[in-house]
Every structure is written in structure tokens, then in C-alpha cells.
Amino acid sequence: MSTEPARSAGSAEGSADDTDASLLRNRAGTARERRPSDPLEELALEEAIARNVRSLRTQHGLSVGDMAERVGISKAMLSKIENAQTSCSLNTLARLAVGLDVPVTSLFRGAEVERPAAFVARGTGARIVRAGTKEGHEYELLGSLRGEHKRLECLHVTLTEKSETYPLFQHPGTEFVYLLEGVMDYSHSRTVYRLHPGDSLQMDGEGAHGPVELVELPIRFLSVIAFPEASL
């Protein structure tokens, strides 16, 4: 079994700009500025229109320029609409619906859906017992959110006592560990990573993983697991 520092093992080539550009949320979502006085209901409607217009345009195989020409608006305006940066007039909505060959109501789809979120106030997370839990090892559930295609579980783990053996976990999906306090050696598959505060580790959950040595107590870390659709 090899030992490898987390900060070098997880490093990736490329600049921060390259990393930002590769984020799915930047390529598949929208981002906009909001004044505190802007009503949330209006923003939700604009975001639904943006999402639906972009999706329908893509389904038709049209570029932004082609779609703008078909509808009779500028590329800049269509870009703003698809990024939820402007409110559509009724006339523009009608043009978009005709250009996309859909009813106007199709452009509002999803605006009325309440999107889930999970908030847990400090110290109120449910204490849970995982397989192999020992005295001095505490797991606090910070939230479990089930979406359309996956489930996300977030744990705050506190380790205050050493023991002779430690549990090794295996589960479907991907796990992300972020060390908040202390120092520990954490194994995944055939590699052991020494984690210091601020270090993180992202891993395939199917590989056996868990703490193997508690170097400096107490240890606190966040564990976020994204389960795939097949395991729901």
C-alpha cells in the first residue's frame, strides 16, 4: 500500500480558468445578478423561459444566430433571454413560440415546480449510526436530497477517539471528503492519503475507503455522497 499526500495526489494540470470552464453548471445552467428588491417569482419565470427556449432551440438544431433570425430579434437579445438576464415581452414570447413551433405555455414549463432544498441549522442534524461506528466516532446527517436522477447525502463526521480498527465503506456513486480539523490518513482502494485541514478527496464509492490512522485529534470532516440513479 502506497502513501501519497492528498495535495499532490489530487492536483490537476491547467489554470483555474480551465477548471471553471469545465464545470457543468457553467455549461448547462444560467447565472445572473439579482437586486434584493427583485421578486423571486419573476426570476423563477425568467429562468424557466430561459431553460425551455435553450432546450427547444437545441432540439431543433438551431444556432443562436439562426434562431434569432427566424424569430426576428437580435442575437444579443436571444442570448439574454437564454441566460435569464431579461424579461420577455408578450410579443417576444409569441414570436419565440411560433419560431419553435410550440404553444406559448410550453415556454413556462417548470416555473410552477417547487425545487427541493435541505437546510439544517447548526447542531440540529440527526445523529446516525453507520456500519462499524465506534465510541468517539459521530456522524451527523446534514441533509439528504433526492432529485430526479440521484440522491445526495451530506455527513458531518467527528472522530475524537482512536481505536484498533476502523470501518471500510463501499457504496455506489461518488464520495467527496473535505477535512475541517485535525490530521488523518484516509485510504481508498490501494492508496492512503494524508489529509490536513483544507484538503479534499473525491473518490469512486465502490472502492473500499475509510480512515486508517487518526494522526491529530479531534478530527472533523464533511462527507458528501452522490448516489447514482440505479441505486435509488
Give per-residue pLDDT as tens, 108-151: 887 766 667 777 888 888 887 765 556 678 888 887 777 665 78
Residue 21: predicted pLDDT: 55
In this predicted structure, the answer to whether residue 2 has a pLDDT above a threshold of 60 is no
Across residues 27-32, what is the average pLDDT?
Answer: 64
% of the chain at pLDDT higher than 70: 76
For residue range 45-87, what is the model confidence (pLDDT) as tens digits? Answer: 888 898 899 999 999 999 999 999 999 999 999 998 988 888 8
Neighbours of 164 (CB within 10 A): 5
Residue 26: predicted pLDDT: 62
In this predicted structure, the answer to whether residue 10 has a pLDDT above a threshold of 50 is no
d(CA 202, CA 24): 17
Pairing of strands 137-146, 191-195: unpaired
d(CA 37, CA 45): 16
Residue 214: predicted pLDDT: 95
Residue 41: predicted pLDDT: 67
Residue 99: predicted pLDDT: 93
What 3-state DSSP class applies to 18? helix
Neighbours of 43 (CB within 10 A): 14
% of the chain at pLDDT higher than 90: 44
In this predicted structure, the answer to whether residue 192 has a pLDDT above a threshold of 50 is yes
Cβ atoms of 142 and 156 closer than 8 Å: yes
Global confidence as pTM:
0.60
